[in-house]
């Protein structure tokens, strides 16, 4: 069993190290924004049966659906089902559609295809929609990504508009 709950303050350092190791600069916001649960995104810690930190997930709630901005399992704990249990727990907790971004299937990193397959097993579908992640900050590049969702009836243009304006702070 995996519990999702607000990250314990004692685990902030481990979560930050995992965040920095798991995401390249162009795919992350400044850590203080991630760790500040007074506003979106909300940072959940992943905790196992022994109450040990296993990873984290950040979530934006947009009413009709939620957006998973970042999700990482501690590298020493991967391959044991923690990720799929965390996604199942998140979906149960939210009770609504979930959207996330992934690298395109043809991305040269073999982990990209594995990541898409993982989310597919968790009930997500890859949308056939051209999507670009805007830069998180000046000087960083935009990133060609793909959208995946648990509800393919969502309008990808509306999702893109919401993500670009609310998550990335871009004007419409």
Which CATH number characterizes residue 151's domain? 3.40.630.30
Extract the residue ranges of the chain whose pLDDT is less than 70. Answer: 171-172
What is the distance between the alpha carbons of residues 55 and 15, in angstroms, rounded to a whole number? 7
| Interatomic CA distance for residues 36 and 34, integer angstroms | 6
Would you say residue 40 lies in a domain?
A: yes
- Is the pTM higher than 0.85? yes
- What does the pLDDT read at residue 152? 96
Q: Which of 56, 67, 59 is nearest to 19 (CA)?
A: 56
Number of domains making up the chain: 1
Q: What is the model's pLDDT at position 171? A: 66
The residue segments making up the domain with residue 102 are 3-167
Task: Return the pLDDT at 111.
Answer: 83
* Residue 172 belongs to a domain: no
* Residue 148 resides in a domain: yes
Q: How many residues does the chain have?
A: 172
Read off the pLDDT of residues 22-71 as tens digits, 9 standing for 90 and up: 998 888 999 999 998 888 899 999 999 899 999 999 999 999 999 999 99
Domain assignment of residue 150, yes or no:
yes
């Amino acid at each position: 069993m995996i519990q999702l709950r607000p990250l314990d303050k004692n685990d902030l350092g481990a979560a930050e190290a995992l965040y920095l190791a798991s995401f390249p600069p162009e795919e992350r916001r400044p850590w203080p924004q991630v760790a500040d649960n007074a506003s979106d995104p909300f940072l959940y810690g992943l905790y196992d049966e022994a109450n040990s930190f296993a990873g984290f997930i950040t979530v934006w709630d947009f009413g009709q659906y939620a957006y998973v901005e970042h999700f990482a399992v501690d590298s020493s704990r991967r391959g044991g089902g923690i990720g799929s249990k965390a996604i199942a727990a998140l979906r149960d907790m939210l009770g609504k559609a979930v959207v996330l971004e992934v690298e395109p299937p043809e991305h040269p990193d073999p982990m990209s295809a594995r990541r898409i397959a993982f989310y597919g097993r968790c009930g997500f579908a890859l949308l056939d929609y051209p999507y670009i992640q805007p830069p998180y900050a000046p000087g960083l590049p935009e990133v060609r990504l793909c959208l995946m969702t648990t509800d393919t009836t969502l309008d990808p243009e509306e999702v893109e508009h919401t993500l670009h304006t609310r998550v990335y702070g871009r004007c419409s």
